[in-house]
């Protein structure tokens, strides 16, 4: 049974989720003082939560009937779980709209495009936006940035972090929230400190690192997004055995999907493009081949449309195909400057 | 596999230092040290660079507008590409940069050695000295200064791809001895033309070299500048995805545009691999240098001329180009520039 259905206050619920407890079973065996320490609340409050939890569990015991298979979850429970996690905004309203609010946790999203379209920019923006505090509608989490190409530039991350804080203070002013308390926490240096940066230089390191992430994230439970920039690079240079490549890639994809599900975080994979000869002409497609294209839950393609940058939802189980314009500014990813912001539905 | 050469041990020491700072459990730390994985927090990356590196990791080009756009100059640790038609000024740019890197720190240089890999035998020491004398008359007044500066620039002229590969390995060793501060490869495209490599060129001939050069740049934190050639765009090459519908009129327009369009050589794989791409082109008889791909810069174009002291920007406020035109390489009125007397080189 999950935390979303407990009759407790919203702040208590968000504290439970932020500490990594999404189901009843994850904390029901703890002592109240342990829970109090983890959530930073008083012992009495923790004991109250546990009492409410065990009470609800007893009431709900019959709901699991129908000889449930161990480990299965009903669709209703899954829906509630999905609603518990806010999506990670991209700072561009149009882009967020076609993504259903932003990048979703518990899913693997692949984003690909030609060089210079803004993939790394989007990656850095997401690494910073995941840190937006819960009070401002964000996740208040940390980010892991796996850099395979060396395209992560710290100066740019600092620039985007400063712009994000500026935007939040404007927002806070409008909503008359207590920004003072927030300001102490949200300094650009703190934002940079919450980005765990890994640099891998070969495909073996890339695979080793993804295997290691399991352990790393269980020690850093507040990581809410893993960005790999780019997942393609080491698999395109000098790989002779294509069958091996396909096996390695699918193994990696499965591990990443498991990570996303087990720890309820978002996985964003940035991909490159290649040309393919289809129907008598060369067309652009995302790299790594056809079997890889099945591996990700969602697929977004960034492309040039005239003089503007657009994003297109190529594949998603829950979102419809749509394009939206966005722009890359000195502050990061933002809405496109053009006046007519039409979202083309296909 | 462990190779007990000195440079490997040095790298191990460097990697171990980073890993130990992370506070990982010993068993994991050893595994990572064996694999040489660098990991850090984005904040500590920035602090390290600001403290230890020249201008927080940039080599100023002495072209004010370009330096501002690039947050200080050519960045350390990443690949910067210069691409443009023949005779536009790529080698001139490289000569100037080599000089700047060899200058002592008080004159804004890196006070180090330069490895210049001259594939097409275009390096001119006479021109190098001329640039030095005209740009820094006070330094080059004394003859021994010219000798010392020129003595720091090591020119390699590999006769085949395998010689080039060997040179790279040797460069790795001297990089670890901390003397080389800049690596220039002029030009990368020439390495894969028919005359240079015996036999038919493979699809991904340079795959290994690209990864190697990138990791060289990163581990030794030096700027690496590579020049690239251009080729004409064939009719078959569209740059569209399957979901982009093209009207018949557009197709006709595209065809006429393609006849005068040039594209960078080495393909889209290479375009993804470089971090910064500077396009040099000629439009209506005026040369421009454009920041076509850069994670830290807006898309700006600067008009320039070649003078006796190197490259001179005609305006430090670049023209901002929106849209994919920043990537286009024009060659209009270029022949006039080459034959024009203008600034004669004495």
- ipTM for this model: 0.76
Provide φ and ψ at A2, rounded to 5°.
-105, 160
What is the average pLDDT score of chain A?
83
pTM for this predicted structure: 0.78
Question: Would you call A150 and B327 a contact, using CB atoms and an 8 Å cutoff?
Answer: no
Q: What percent of chain B has pLDDT over 70?
A: 71
Where on the phi/psi map is residue B144: left (φ > 0), alpha (ψ -120 to 50), or beta?
Answer: alpha
Tokens at B188, concatenated = 């990368």
Range name among A33-42, A175-184, B47-56 with the lowest pLDDT average: A175-184
Tell me, yes or no, if B298 comes closer than 8 A to chain A by beta carbon. yes
DSSP-based three-state secondary structure for B40? strand
Tell me, yes or no, if B243 comes closer than 8 A to chain A by beta carbon. yes
Which among B37, B269, B322 is the nearest to A198, CB-wise?
B37
Residue of A nearest to B18 (CA): A198
Residue of A nearest to B293 (CA): A116
Provide φ and ψ at A47, rounded to 5°.
-65, -40
Question: What gap in Å lies between CA B240 and CA A303, rounded to an integer?
Answer: 8
Give yes or no for a contact between A272 and A323, defined as CB atoms under 8 angstroms apart. no
Provide the pairing of β-strand B180-186 with B276-283. Answer: unpaired
Q: Which residues of A touch B45 (CB under 8 A)?
A: 154, 197
Query: Which helix H or strand E contains A263, and what residues bound it?
Result: helix A242-263
CA angle B326, B331, B334 (to 5 degrees): 135
Q: Which residues of A touch B31 (CB under 8 A)?
A: 208, 212
Question: Would you call B241 and A204 a contact, using CB atoms and an 8 Å cutoff?
Answer: no
Question: What gap in Å lies between CA B295 and CA A160, rounded to an integer?
Answer: 11
In chain B (346 residues long), the average pLDDT of successive 10-residue segments reads: 42 46 44 47 68 75 92 91 91 93 87 91 90 88 84 89 88 81 90 61 71 87 92 68 64 48 85 92 91 91 92 90 85 58 39
Residues 6 or more apart from B171 whose CB is under 8 A from it? B115, B180, B183, B216
Which among A145, A155, A275 is the nearest to B71, CB-wise?
A155
- The DSSP code for B134 is H
Closest Cα in chain A, distance from residue B216 (Å):
10
Q: Does position A24 have pLDDT exceeding 60, yes or no?
A: yes
pLDDT, tens digit (0-9, with 9 covering 90-100), for A122-159: 999 999 999 988 888 888 899 999 999 888 888 899 99
Instruction: Point out which residues pair with B291 in neighbouring strands.
Output: B278
Tell me, yes or no, if B277 comes closer than 8 A to chain A by beta carbon. yes
pLDDT, tens digit (0-9, with 9 covering 90-100), for B254-276: 544 444 578 888 888 889 999 99
Interface size between A and B, measured as CB pairs under 8 A: 157
Residue of A nearest to B48 (CA): A154
Mean pLDDT over A211-219 rounds to 90
**Locus of tokens 């850090």:** B40
């Amino acid at each position: 049974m999950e935390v979303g259905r407990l009759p407790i206050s919203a702040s208590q619920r968000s504290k439970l989720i932020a500490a990594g407890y999404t189901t009843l079973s994850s904390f029901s065996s703890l002592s109240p003082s342990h829970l109090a320490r983890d959530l930073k609340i008083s012992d009495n409050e923790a004991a109250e939560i546990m009492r409410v939890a065990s009470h609800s569990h007893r009431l709900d015991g019959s709901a699991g009937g129908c000889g449930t298979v161990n480990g299965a979850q009903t669709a209703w429970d899954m829906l509630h779980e999905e609603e518990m996690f806010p999506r990670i905004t991209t700072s561009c309203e149009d882009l967020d709209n076609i993504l259903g609010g932003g990048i979703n946790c518990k899913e693997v999203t692949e984003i690909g495009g030609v060089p210079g379209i803004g993939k790394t920019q989007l990656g850095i923006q997401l690494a910073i936006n995941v840190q937006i505090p819960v009070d401002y509608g964000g996740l208040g989490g940390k980010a892991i940035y796996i850099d395979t190409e060396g395209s992560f530039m710290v100066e740019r991350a600092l620039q985007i972090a400063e712009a994000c804080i500026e935007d939040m203070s404007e927002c806070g002013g409008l909503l008359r929230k207590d920004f003072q308390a927030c300001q102490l926490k949200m300094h650009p240096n703190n934002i940079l400190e919450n980005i765990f940066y890994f640099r891998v230089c070969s495909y073996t390191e890339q695979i080793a690192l993804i295997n290691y992430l399991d352990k790393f994230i269980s020690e850093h439970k507040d990581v809410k997004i893993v960005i790999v920039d780019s997942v393609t690079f080491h698999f395109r240079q000098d790989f002779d055995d294509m069958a091996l490549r396909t096996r390695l890639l699918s193994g990696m994809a499965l591990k990443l999907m498991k990570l996303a599900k087990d720890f309820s975080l978002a996985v964003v994979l940035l991909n490159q493009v290649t040309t393919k000869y289809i129907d008598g002409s060369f067309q652009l497609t995302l790299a790594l081949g056809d079997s890889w294209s099945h591996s990700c839950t969602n697929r977004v393609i960034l492309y040039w449309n005239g003089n503007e940058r657009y994003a297109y939802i190529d594949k998603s189980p829950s979102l419809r195909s749509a394009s939206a314009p966005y722009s890359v500014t000195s502050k990061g990813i933002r809405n496109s400057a053009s006046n007519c912001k039409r979202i083309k539905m296909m | 596999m462990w190779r007990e050469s000195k440079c490997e041990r040095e790298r191990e020491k460097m990697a171990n230092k980073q890993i130990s700072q992370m506070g990982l459990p010993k068993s994991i730390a050893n595994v990572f040290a064996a694999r040489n994985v660098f990991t850090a927090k984005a904040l500590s990356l920035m602090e390290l660079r600001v403290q230890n590196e020249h201008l927080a990791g940039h080599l100023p080009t002495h072209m004010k507008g370009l330096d501002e756009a690039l947050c200080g100059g050519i960045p350390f640790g990443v690949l910067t590409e210069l691409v443009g038609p023949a005779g536009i000024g790529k080698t001139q740019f490289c000569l100037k940069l080599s000089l700047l890197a060899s200058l002592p720190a008080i004159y804004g240089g890196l006070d180090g050695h330069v490895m210049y890999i001259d594939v097409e035998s275009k390096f001119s020491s006479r021109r190098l000295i001329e640039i030095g004398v005209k740009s820094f008359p006070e330094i080059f007044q004394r003859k021994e200064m010219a000798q010392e500066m020129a003595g720091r620039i090591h020119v390699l002229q590999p006769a085949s791809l395998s010689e080039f590969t060997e040179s790279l390995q040797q460069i790795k060793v001297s990089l670890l001895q901390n003397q080389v501060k800049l690596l220039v490869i002029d030009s990368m495209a020439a390495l894969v033309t028919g005359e240079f490599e015996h036999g038919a060129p493979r699809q991904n001939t340079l795959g290994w070299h690209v990864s190697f050069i990138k990791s060289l740049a990163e581990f030794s934190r030096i700027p690496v500048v590579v020049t690239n050639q251009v080729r004409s765009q064939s009719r078959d090459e569209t740059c569209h995805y399957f979901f982009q519908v093209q009207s018949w009129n557009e197709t006709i327009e595209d065809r006429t545009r393609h006849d005068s369009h040039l594209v960078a050589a080495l393909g889209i794989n290479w375009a993804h691999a470089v971090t910064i791409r500077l396009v040099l082109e000629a439009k209506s008889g005026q040369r421009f240098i454009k920041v076509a791909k850069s994670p830290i810069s807006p898309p700006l174009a600067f008009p320039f001329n070649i003078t006796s002291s190197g490259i001179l920007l005609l305006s430090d406020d670049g023209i901002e180009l929106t849209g994919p035109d920043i990537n286009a390489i024009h060659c209009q009125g270029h022949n006039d520039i080459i034959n024009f007397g203008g600034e004669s080189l004495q």
